[in-house]
Amino acid sequence: MKGAWNTAAVRTSDVFELLRDGRPRTRAQLADLSGLARSTIASRIDTLMRLGLVAPYGGGVSTGGRPPSLLALNPMAWVVAGVDIGASHATAALSDLSGTILVERRADLDVALGPDHVLGWVEHVVADLLADQRREVRELAAIGMGLPGPVEHSSGRAINPPIMPGWDGYDVPGHVQRAFDVPVLVDNDVNIMALGEQHAHLPDVDDLVFIKVSTGIGAGLISGGQLQRGAQGTAGDLGHVAVARAADVLCRCGNQGCLEAVAAGSAVARALREAGVEAAGSADVVTLVRSGDPRAVQAVRQAGRDIGEVLATLVNMINPSAIVIGGSLADAGESLLAGIREVVYQRSLPLATQHLAVTTSRAGERAGVIGAAALAIGHVLSPEHIDRAGERLAAAGA
């Protein structure tokens, strides 16, 4: 960052970025890192301290005279809410600005009951979480939400969601903002799971693919450190990519040959029932695998091979350094991973797989709510948001 600066053009967010990693620094260190005059640093730090985003941290080491004061990000300046809405359950949490979960609630909740019912629960539980932490509504900076269907991220509206009657085109942010006048960021469930896994366990990984294998199959793609949504927000819809074994199998989307039709948890369960094994869904498949049922083990491994067929192409195209498998069928563990690895390492280019890790999610069922909070934090700590907050502060003091 050090170099020639136009002092007048230096934004508050430029200085904040030097402290966002959480490491405490003195004003002198900040001036040295940036090449800015200490008076410029002092002015921007004053704004950040008035916003509450930066606070004194312990004491610096003296080289003679009074020890210099250290400054650091204040993660408790504001809080954000993260909400993960699933097909039959929901989780909500309150987080500080570092992503540390402060309090969490989980409930059985049928998304098919519609947006009024589900978002009513969201409003109630967020208010309850704030009260639990003795936080006022004005201390809530943003809300991040994940929905189990396609989402137009720019508007926060679900688009033709197959399992969400009444949600198509519904103004989710507008509804929630009736209760909380804060930014409401909405994305699909697998995208927020990718963010959650990265935030909690892979913070140094900039190229990551998160695969959710449940009733359907989808991917959250992080490339160059940024979530990739595509032009209409449908990037990562791997479940409807054609695979050889599904050539004659009809998918719920109306096409034949989709990966989801043979490798999703519901498809594996159906195949086992056809073979005379009782399995209603993913949970039963996982139970059978863990009990050592050979037909279930083989069925899950084959599902892994099918998924690997699609992932091999993806690996060659975007070259991730990590593939993380989540969702209900991921609990089958090595049986699923073995099939995926078998095909990915066989069909992808050697250079692309040289350092590739294929693992199950460490965040597990909490990936979604952690990622929803991370989505909100990313907005709150964005340069645009911080600079607007600084401008409002200056205007109020004028």
Distance CA 236, CA 209 (A): 9
Contact 284, 269 (CB under 8 A): yes
Q: What is the mean pLDDT of residues 248-254?
A: 90
Is residue 60 very low, low, confident or very high in pLDDT (cuts 50, 70, 90)? very low
Question: Are 87 and 107 within 8 A, CB to CB?
Answer: no
Judged against a pLDDT cut of 70, whether residue 74 lies above it is answered with yes
User: Average pLDDT of 372-395?
Assistant: 94
Q: What is the mean pLDDT of residues 248-257?
A: 91
The sign of the CA dihedral 38, 44, 47, 53 is: negative
Q: What is the pLDDT of residues 314-350, one digit of tens each?
A: 999 999 999 999 999 999 999 999 999 999 999 999 9
- Where are the extended beta strands (E) located within 153-216? 157-158, 184-188, 208-213
Q: Is the pTM of this model over 0.85?
A: yes
Residue-wise pLDDT tens digits, 141-151:
999 999 998 99
* Token pair listed for 124: 């109630």
Phi/psi region, residue 260 (left: phi>0; alpha: psi -120 to 50; beta: rest), is alpha
Q: Calculate the CA 62 to chain-centre distance.
A: 42
DSSP percent split of the chain into helix, strand, coil, nearest 5: 45, 20, 35
- Band (pLDDT 50/70/90 cuts) for residue 67 is very low
